[in-house]
């Protein structure tokens, strides 16, 4: 499935914030996700789940590695199967850990 996609330097990271609709119970959410085939449609084949976190009382935060040519397909599947269950927000993302490490080394060496 999508988790086995080989990472590529040309891929982009997208963080999706899927906020729960306050008026839906868990049973409502599960029924709507099943009816929209969420678990079959998402994540889109050819993408890779980097992380998938549940924030209690808030929703879910998903970071995907996406080949640029599949970005429209990710959006389409969110519209097809997430809307009505979640409000969605999408953010371009990057891994800050290597940047942080470079900054720490630069500061230790007397730089800013």
Three-class secondary structure assignment of 16-42: EEEEECCCCCHHHHHHHHHHCCHHHHC
Residue 57: predicted pLDDT: 85
Digit-coded pLDDT (tens) for 29-77: 999 999 999 999 999 999 999 999 999 989 999 999 999 999 999 999 9
Domains defined along the chain, listed by start: 2-108 (3.30.70.920)
Query: CA-CA distance, 18 to 62, in Å (whole number)?
Result: 8
């Amino acid at each position: 499935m999508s988790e086995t996609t080989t990472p590529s330097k040309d891929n982009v990271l997208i963080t999706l914030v899927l906020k729960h609709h306050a008026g839906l119970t868990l049973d409502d959410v599960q029924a709507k996700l099943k009816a929209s085939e969420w678990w079959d449609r998402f994540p889109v084949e050819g993408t890779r789940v980097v992380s998938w976190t549940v924030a209690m009382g808030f929703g879910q935060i998903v970071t995907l590695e996406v080949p640029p040519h599949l970005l429209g397909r990710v959006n389409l599947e969110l519209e097809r199967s997430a809307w009505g269950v979640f409000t969605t927000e999408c953010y371009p993302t990057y891994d800050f850990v290597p940047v942080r490490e470079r900054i720490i080394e630069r500061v230790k060496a007397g730089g800013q």
